[in-house]
Chain A
Amino acid sequence: MGDQDIALMAHLMRRAGFGATREELEARAAKGYEATVEELLNPEDQPTLDRNEMMRYHPWTWRPGTLPGMGAAEWLHDMINTRRPLEEKMTLFWHGIFATGVSKVDHYDDVMDMIVKFREKGMGDFRELLVEMAKDPAMIYWLDNCENHADAVNENWGRELLELFSMGVGNYTEVDVRECSRAFTGWTIEPKLPRGPIGRHDWFFEYRPEDHDDTEKTFLGHSGNFNGEDIVRIISEHPACAGFIARHLYNFFVADEAQVPAWSVTPPNDPEAVETLANALRENGYDMRATLRVLFNSDFFKNARFARLKNPTEVVVGTLRMVGGAEFPAPGIGDLSRQPSYMGQDLLNPPSVEGWHTGAEWINSGSLMRRVNFTAELVGDVSRPGIRDMVDRLEARGVRTAAEAVDGCLDLMGPLEVTGESRDELIGFISEGGDFAWGTTEDVASSTRRVSELLQLIVSLREYQYA
């Protein structure tokens, strides 16, 4: 198998998952690219994680309610250890679009229930997911649809459904917002009990016919006595809908786009690619699995290596998958689960319904320092199985000179592509210690230490922030 097969497989696994060890990449490359895509697209063929393990060691991670900072521990553990990487990646994708947070919902459990829905339905029919979100208690409370009554319309959900969840600004009128909202009157939650001492009661979706505006509406040029499901159907038949979801897919899986609020005035970077994805959605009845198949097998995807910046979750989970040693839910998992928030992505608590701004907006001095320090600490730990494996491979390759060590490390960490200047700096840094030797136990110990120092400098590179 050629280096290019490994490089392409590494690219696929970074995007369709959270990266993979060299051993996994070699096994997947041996099976072939398209076979791997199919395996990723069919997560139900792979085993799930043992839920009892987390329950046994960290029972508070199960339905953590209102415990600040604890909500994402189980999810993060799932992302690190899943055998179904694309399923978790799609879950993160939808969480960024249907962005709902505890800053208002006030309960991790309700937002985690959404995460479970993304996991179960995120690779199916988008229209079904949209109806599911319209009935989701956290979403209903987040966007005030519980205050949307037949005799007093609240437009919050109706507007965001069109603006952020399906079509984007510029494809509908204010009248459409109003009519859309009317169709969702009576879609509410029960019980609306006040909160108790340390939390509150779980909510359930309830449809109240007596609070539903049971009269004629005119929405996107269609007239009828519409209910919520009709609205979702009409939206999905509008040409803008597939294009909007396609652009989200492109931004998340292929290359950084402008921020969502700018989409109505900024054309896509690659309009042809977005149109290909939009057509895949239309031709396959909004089946996400079929659309992702088109995406991962396309040339525009394969040619987009390192064309987007990693989000904080990708930094944390990807590095942990690379270095290994996080398979067991050890003490400290609570702090681990907060690492993405330290880098600006507080899972289950996005800054607003608009979700996180992506690309270069992830980076500021605080978050960059967090990224560098967290990843450098991990790769500096030579007891991690992933680091030991890299050292073993370098030894087996008989790496001797500084340039060989640098090229070997860059290869095993990706392969990672860096500028000539960066490579020169890495070589300059590591060449101070002379050539690498592997003859004696002392040689191996010294070479191991130097490799870990080199890896620390590599994760500090700007290039490591790209996926």
Chain B
Amino acid sequence: MTSTKKDPVLVVFQLTGGNDYLNTVIPYSNPLYRDNRPVVGIAEDRVIPIDDKIGFHPEMAPLKHVYDRGDMAIIHGVGYANSPRSHFRSMDIWHTCEPEKLGTEGWLGRATRDIDPNKENVLTTVSFGPSLFRALALPGVPVAVVDDLDNYGLLPGISGEQRTKVLDRFARMYSPAIGSSAVMDYMGQTGLDTLEGADILKEAPRMYSSDVEYPDTPIAKKLKGIAQVHMANFGTRIFYVDHGSFDSHSNQTGMHDKLWHDVSHGLAAFLDDLKEHGVDDNVVVLAFTEFGRRTHDNGSGTDHGAGGAAFMFGSGVKGGQYSEFPSMAEKDLEQGDVVPNYDYRGLYTTILEDWMGLDAKPLVGATYEKLGMLS
């Protein structure tokens, strides 16, 4: 990679809880859709058509604009064989690339190690969420976990001059001392790294200004945080964020509308923001969920299913539809669910190799068929 070329950046957006594929990318002209969705089905005149077969959920208008300008890819029927239909297990499978056994290492933790093997940057990977997602977990690989960028760092409850004094003491208390034990030394270094990461990160909002107005929603706030850190050029290569819960067993209609309203407006603002600042060309977003939902609704919502849709966004993405919409014919369903026809590890491989420039096989476990949206 030449020095003039910017390093590629990946934003992973987790739609937690199992997003209903069939009501997100709606096969509106398929009579089987009507038959299967007597209650939660979306009327044809409300669907935002993409072509004569499928259309977006009515709340996805902002993303339709992104799609129309060629910056959004839909990946149909993503998943893996024998869906356990369990949130915990399925999310674990997505996070660790281990459908057969319990995995402990996250695929992005491994990617972080490959990107920054000597741990030169404490901000190579930044997660916006209260906890460390298993996708990012790998012993010895540091990941900065940010709840709220405006209130980030050590001892955020202390403010003003007092905070400066406290953090100054903290740095001195964690500094190397003669005759200290190995564990004390390790904790000391970790504490100083933490302070350094926090010091750098908290500058991001101050360095940022934008004409783009983000909606006042929790997910938009997190996406804005990602934009701020990206624009601050701290060398962050992987961002992680989640939103949910998409677990729409009951009263799906209002709930799913609100979720996609917030996601669509937040994401569109984020992409606009990057574009306005001319820093969009090296960022792609992957949005995924742990499974799609049951083909037939349950009278109020939809239950856990198998195959789902994933999405990619960004000016580096070749927009359009990839893979095939799985058959909804009764004979083709498994336990009432549309069957995945594209392995999620192929999508990971596409991103890791064609975008991040990494060798994907050791990170996802085997060789998988790639898609063309990043080549």
Name A's B-contacting residues (CB within 8 A).
66, 68, 102-104, 106, 194-195, 197-198, 256, 309, 338, 341-342, 344, 346, 349, 351-353, 357, 359-361, 363-366, 368-370, 372-373, 376-377, 380, 419, 421-422, 425-426, 428-429, 432, 453, 456-457, 460-462, 465
A365 in contact with B157 (CB, 8 Å): no
Q: Which residue of A lies closest to B198 (CB)?
A: A369
Taken residue by residue from 170 to 182, chain B's Cβ proximity to chain A (1 for < 8 Å, 0 otherwise) reads as 1011100100101
CB distance from B234 to the nearest CB of A (A): 14
Partner of A366, one of B104, B143, B166, B186: B143
A365 lies within 8 A of B193 (CB): yes
- Is B157 a contact partner of A102 (Cβ separation < 8 A)? no
Determine whether the beta carbon of A106 is less than 8 Å from that of B84.
yes
Q: Are A429 and B166 in touch, CB under 8 angstroms? A: yes
Contact B249 A198 (CB under 8 A): yes
A195-B85, A309-B183, A353-B102 given; A366·B144 CB < 8 A? yes
Query: Within 8 Å CB of A364, what residues of B?
Result: 142-143, 190
Question: A357 to B174, Cβ gap below 8 A?
Answer: no
In the complex the two chains form, is B88's CB within 8 Å of A102's CB? yes
Determine whether the beta carbon of B130 is less than 8 Å from that of A376: no
Specify which of B166, B184, B193 is in contact with A456 (CB 8 Å cutoff).
B166
Which residues from chain A contact B122 at a C-beta distance below 8 Å? Answer: 365
Contact in complex: B139, A373 (CB < 8 Å): no
Complex: chain B residue closest to A259, CB-CB: B139
Q: Is the Cβ of B88 less than 8 Å from the Cβ of A342?
A: no
Closest CB in chain A relative to B248 CB, distance in Å: 11
B139 neighbours in A (Cβ, 8 Å): 357, 361
Q: Which residues of A contact B367 (CB under 8 A)?
A: none
Whether B87 pairs with A366 at a CB distance below 8 angstroms is: no
Could you list some 6 contacts between A and B, CB below 8 A?
Answer: A197-B303, A369-B198, A419-B177, A428-B169, A429-B169, A456-B166
B145 lies within 8 A of chain A by Cβ? yes
Known contacts: A197-B304, A373-B156. The answer to whether A462 contacts B102 by CB under 8 A is no
Q: B183 touching A360 by the CB < 8 A rule?
A: yes
Contacts A197-B304, A360-B183, A460-B154; A66 near B194 (Cβ below 8 A): no
What A residues does B190 contact at CB under 8 A?
363-365, 368
- How far, in angstroms, from A373 to B156 measured CA to CA in the complex? 7
Residues of A within 8 A of B130 (CB): 338, 342
B89: interface (CB < 8 Å) = yes
Check B88–A66 contact: CB distance below 8 A. Answer: yes
Assess whether B191 is in contact with A368, with CB atoms less than 8 Å apart.
yes
Contact call A363/B187, Cβ cutoff below 8 A: yes
A106–B89 touching, CB < 8 Å = yes
B191 close to A462 (CB less than 8 A): yes
Residues of A within 8 A of B154 (CB): 369, 372-373, 460
Q: How far is the CB of A276 from chain B (nearest CB, A)?
A: 25
How distant is the Cα of A377 from the Cα of B156 in the complex, in angstroms?
A: 9
Interface presence of B188 (CB below 8 A): yes
Residues of chain B within 8 A of A359, CB atoms compared: 183
Q: By the criterion CB–CB under 8 Å, are B155 and A373 in contact?
A: yes
Interface size, B (range): 35 or more
- Count chain B CB atoms within 10 A of each CB in A106, A360, A366, A456 and give the residue with the most: A366
| Distance between Cα atoms of A426 and B187 in the complex (Å) | 18
Q: How far is the CB of B255 from chain A (nearest CB, A)?
A: 15
Bound-state Cα–Cα, A257 to B56, Å: 56
A354's nearest neighbour on chain B, judged by CB, is B104
Given A357-B139, A366-B145, A373-B155, A425:B88 Cβ within 8 A: no
Contacts of A194 in B (CB 8 A): 335
Pick the residue among A103, A198, A360, A366 that contacts B142 (CB under 8 A). Answer: A366
Within 8 Å by CB of A377, from B157, B180, B194, lies: B157
Q: Is B162 an interface residue (CB 8 A)?
A: yes
Q: Which residues of B contact A429 (CB under 8 A)?
A: 165-166, 169
CA distance A263 to B143 in the complex (A): 29
Question: Bound state CA distance, A254 and B122, in angstroms?
Answer: 33
Q: Is there an interface contact between B173 and A422, defined as CB atoms closer than 8 Å?
A: yes
Please name the residue on chain A nearest to B136 by beta carbon.
A366
Chain B residues whose CB sits within 8 angstroms of the CB of A368 once the complex forms: 187, 190-191, 194
> How far does the alpha carbon of A428 sit from the alpha carbon of B298 in the complex, in Å?
66
Smallest beta-carbon distance A105→chain B, Å: 8
| B88 in contact with A68 (CB, 8 Å) | yes
- Inter-chain CA distance A360–B187, complex, in Å, is 8
Instruction: State whether A103 touches B187 (Cβ < 8 A).
Output: no
Residue pair B86, A66 in contact (C-beta under 8 Å): yes
Chain B window 274-298, contacts with chain A (Cβ cutoff 8 Å), 1 for yes, 0 for no? 0000000000000000000000001
Contact residues in A for B155 (Cβ distance below 8 Å):
372-373, 376, 456, 460
The answer to whether A195 and B144 have CB atoms under 8 Å apart is no
Set B84, B144, B182: member contacting A365, Cβ < 8 A? B144
Q: Pick the contact of A425: B169, B245, B298 (CB < 8 A).
A: B169
A344, B92: Cβ atoms under 8 Å?
no
Residue of B nearest to A462 (CB): B187
| Contact between A106 and B303, CB atoms less than 8 A apart | no
Residue of B nearest to A361 (CB): B139
B89/A351 in contact, CB under 8 A:
no
Nearest opposing residue in chain B for A367, CB measure = B132
A residues less than 8 Å from B86 (CB atoms): 66, 106, 195
Kindly state the separation between the CA atoms of A453 and B190 in the bound complex, as whole angstroms.
23
Are A373 and B191 in contact, with the CB atoms below 8 A?
no
Q: Does B329 contact A (CB under 8 A)?
A: no
* C-alpha gap A194/B82 in the complex (Å): 12
- Closest 4 interchain pairs by CB? A197-B303, A106-B86, A365-B194, A366-B145
Residues on A with beta carbons closer than 8 Å to the beta carbon of B182: 360
User: Nearest chain A CB to B259's CB is how many angstroms away?
Assistant: 16
- B131 touches A (CB below 8 Å): yes
The interface bits of chain B over 8-26 (1 if a CB of A lies within 8 angstroms of the residue's CB, else 0) are 0000000000000000000
Interface status of B72 (Cβ within 8 A of chain A): no
Given A342-B130, A462-B173, 18 new contacts (CB under 8 A): A103-B134, A104-B102, A106-B86, A338-B130, A342-B131, A360-B187, A361-B139, A363-B187, A365-B144, A369-B154, A369-B198, A419-B180, A429-B166, A432-B165, A457-B170, A460-B170, A461-B173, A462-B187
B86 to chain A, nearest CB (A): 4
Q: What is the CA–CA distance of A428 and B180 in the complex, to the nearest angstrom?
A: 21
Q: How far is the CB of A402 from chain B (nearest CB, A)?
A: 13
A129–B327 Cα gap in the complex (Å)? 50
Which residues of B are found within 8 Å of A361, using beta-carbon distances? 139
Does B73 count as interface, using CB distance less than 8 angstroms? no
Instruction: Report the bound CA distance from A104 to B88 in whole Å.
Output: 7
CA–CA, A405 to B55, complex, Å? 68
Contact B142–A365 (Cβ < 8 Å): yes
Residues of B within 8 A of A372 (CB): 154-155
The answer to whether B249 touches A103, judged by C-beta atoms less than 8 angstroms apart, is no
Partner of B173, one of A68, A369, A421: A421
